[in-house]
Structure 1
Amino acid sequence: MPEADDTESRNYFADVPVENHGFHVRGANSLEWGQKNRLGRIFRKESGKTVMFAVDHGYFQGPTTGLERLDLTIPPLLDKADALMATRGAIRTSVDPAMDKAIVLRASGGPSILKELSNEQVAITLDDAIRINASALAVQMFVGGEFETQSIKNLTTLVDEGMRYGIPVMGVVAVGKELVRDARYFRLATRMGAELGAQIIKCYYTEEGFDTVVSTCPVPIVVAGGKKLPELDALIMARRSIDEGAAGVDMGRNIFQSANPRAMITAVSKVVHEGMSAEDAHELFNDLSNQ
């Protein structure tokens, strides 16, 4: 781990209106038209934020509770999401091609939960990503992991290919059991991904110092939902993430393992895009669940 830095707990961009950044997605002003167009499909122009629905868990852990039947889980929730994060197999078998949501395509893989997870490779070609009409590619970053360099090479390979075809890349910060999920670590990992070319970074929320993670990363940060939490706790995490500068959330288990997934994704969207408080969103969740 790096030595402690002296980054103060402040968000340098908190008081700068979105319109003063130019294009509504942070750090994207110098990208070409195709990448801006795809990023614009992921992040709503009105709010500058996104609600991603993640269903890509099976690529390394098989049938996950709540995702045993992708064809029954995904379709009822898509209208409430801005983007679907999924594998190409899930998309082709279980998603109606007439749907109009952005696709964030899982682009790395290899090992299962039975092996060393950091030993991933690039798992798709850009030709196939184009055939699927992906709006972005998602690749794991195992900063501090056994195969750290390999995972970073996966990222840079996809960034290079994505620049050629106008497809953005989302670097997903993967945290192993031996790594501490604190702001210092996430400042390191998110900044590495951004400086190596990723146009979006996905990482976990930290109770302390998350605003410094956001402010020192020059591209949008999307917060991972992580393990299943009680609905109110998940909504509080989403609210705090947005308040501290996140450009959205990417939730999986906290939606598809919820007692009422459709009510939950509706409540999350209200928090992210409309500024609803976690408590009001939880009340909305309960009201919708009781209908």
Structure 2
Amino acid sequence: MLATVGKQRRLSRLINPQTGRGFCIAFDHALQLGPAPGLTHPAETLRMMAEAGVDAVILPLGSAMHFGRELAAKRGPALILRLDQTTMWREGSPLAYRDGHTRLIASVEDAVALGAEAVITYLFVAPNDPALETRSFEDCAKVNEAARRYGILHIIETMGARNALAKDVFDPDFVAFHARIGIEMGADIVKTDWPGSAEGLRPVTESSPVPVLIAGGSSRGSDIGVLELVAEVMAGGAAGILFGRTIFQAKNPPAVMRGCRLIIHDGLSAAQAARSVGL
């Protein structure tokens, strides 16, 4: 009973109970990719998120320890702690492996100690090596059991393993396949890939008993393009977004953040939001 109440209270900080929507940002890329544009001054970017009304942010353990005070000082965004590290996103670089390898590097207990509302782990489906899929499922199951015990939310980020068995990891049927698996693994929230259209997303969102948040797609070459993508995501029935680089690497990140919030929580169109924030 206590754990159930704890999850309900934490969910209300990520997903607004009145709108059923949430505006969250992924800011854990340095754990996977090292230094990257937009990640060099975390405290400044976190202050920007707070001022724009971002509901929650994904941070890895180090950033949560060093910059979590920014979240406390501004009373937000809420903390989602990334518990695993992966080499999946090194594809095409000299440091890439044939397959992505993922491992847990933090715990639910760490998240509780840091005051996090949620933890997040990857669930990579259909790698070349079935043992890697087994490891991914085992790690998610271990985290989910601890999250249930502590009453903390578990976001499962379901994705197709890159350069592996699925020819198109953004195929709507494939996205629906692994998103449903994430639900059955016990996810409180599913984060998953954008299948390319609102029509492709609806079968996922309409059948899901938990909120579905979408990972960032292409910025389409402009800040307005980001807002147009967010509007399409919402039209597909998503509860919100968990975009990363498309937002914090935008030409005008504060304006894009404010525009995203207007679309997600106030129901503005992309054009209306762009005008409102001066894009």
Matched, 1:183 2:176: no
Query: Which residue number in structure 1 is paired with residue 85 of structure 2?
Result: 109
Distance in structure 2 (CA, Å) of the matches to 1:111 and 1:186:
21
- Find 1:242's aligned residue among 195, 209, 234: 234
Matched, 1:126 2:112: no
Distance apart, 1:118 and its partner CA: 3.4
Report the residue type matching 1:221 in the other structure.
Answer: V
- Find 1:84's aligned residue among 39, 44, 57: 57
Matched, 1:142 2:124: yes
Does the Cα contact within 8 Å between 1:78 and 1:84 map onto a contact in 2? no
- Find 2:186's aligned residue among 180, 194, 197: 197
Query: Which residue number in structure 2 is paired with residue 221 of structure 1?
Result: 212
Distance apart, 1:65 and its partner CA: 1.2
Please say which of residues 168-177 and 45-54 is displaced more in the overlay: 168-177
Query: Which residue number in structure 2 is paired with residue 73 of structure 1?
Result: 45
Distance apart, 1:119 and its partner CA: 1.8
Gaps of 5+ in 1: 1-28
Tell me the SS of whatever aligns to 1:209: helix
Instruction: Tell me the alpha carbon deviations over residues 173-224 of structure 1, each in whole angstroms, 9 at most, x when there is no partner.
Output: 2331443111101111010010110111111222242100112332110011
Report the residue type matching 1:263 in the other structure.
Answer: A
Instruction: Tell me the alpha carbon deviations over residues 54-81 of structure 1, each in whole angstroms, 9 at most, x when there is no partner.
Output: 1100111001211122122222222320
Report the residue type matching 1:87 in the other structure.
Answer: P
Please say which of residues 170-179 and 145-154 is displaced more in the overlay: 170-179
Report the residue type matching 1:236 in the other structure.
Answer: E
Tell me the SS of whatever aligns to 2:28: coil
CA RMSD in angstroms, aligned pairs only: 2.0
Does the Cα contact within 8 Å between 1:187 and 1:216 map onto a contact in 2? no
Q: Taking structure 1 as reference, are residues 110 and 240 closer, same or farther at Cα in structure 2, changes over 3 Å only?
A: closer
Distance apart, 1:47 and its partner CA: 0.8
Report the residue type matching 1:142 in the other structure.
Answer: F
Instruction: Tell me the alpha carbon deviations over residues 246-282 of structure 1, each in whole angstroms, 9 at most, x when there is no partner.
Output: 0001121122111111111000000000110011112
Structure 1's consecutive aligned runs of 4 or more residues displaced over 3 angstroms after TM superposition are 115-118, 226-229
Does the Cα contact within 8 Å between 1:187 and 1:217 map onto a contact in 2? no
TM-score, length basis structure 2: 0.86
Query: Which residue number in structure 1 is paired with residue 136 of structure 2?
Result: 151
Distance in structure 1 (CA, Å) of the matches to 2:141 and 2:241:
24
Please say which of residues 223-232 and 260-269 is displaced more in the overlay: 223-232
Distance in structure 2 (CA, Å) of the matches to 1:99 and 1:124:
25
Query: Which residue number in structure 1 is paired with residue 159 of structure 2?
Result: 174
Q: Taking structure 1 as reference, are residues 284 and 74 closer, same or farther at Cα in structure 2, changes over 3 Å only?
A: same
Report the residue type matching 2:223 in the other structure.
Answer: E
Report the residue type matching 1:55 in the other structure.
Answer: F
Report the residue type matching 2:180 in the other structure.
Answer: R
Aligned residues between the structures: 259
Gaps of 5+ in 2: none
Query: Which residue number in structure 2 is paired with residue 63 of structure 1?
Result: 35
Please say which of residues 65-74 and 113-122 is displaced more in the overlay: 113-122
Report the residue type matching 1:86 in the other structure.
Answer: L
Report the residue type matching 1:171 in the other structure.
Answer: I
Distance in structure 1 (CA, Å) of the matches to 2:138 and 2:29:
22
Distance in structure 2 (CA, Å) of the matches to 1:237 and 1:231:
10
Q: How does 1:3-22 map to 2 (within 5 A)?
A: none
TM-score, length basis structure 1: 0.83
Distance in structure 2 (CA, Å) of the matches to 1:194 and 1:210:
15
Distance in structure 2 (CA, Å) of the matches to 1:279 and 1:110:
37
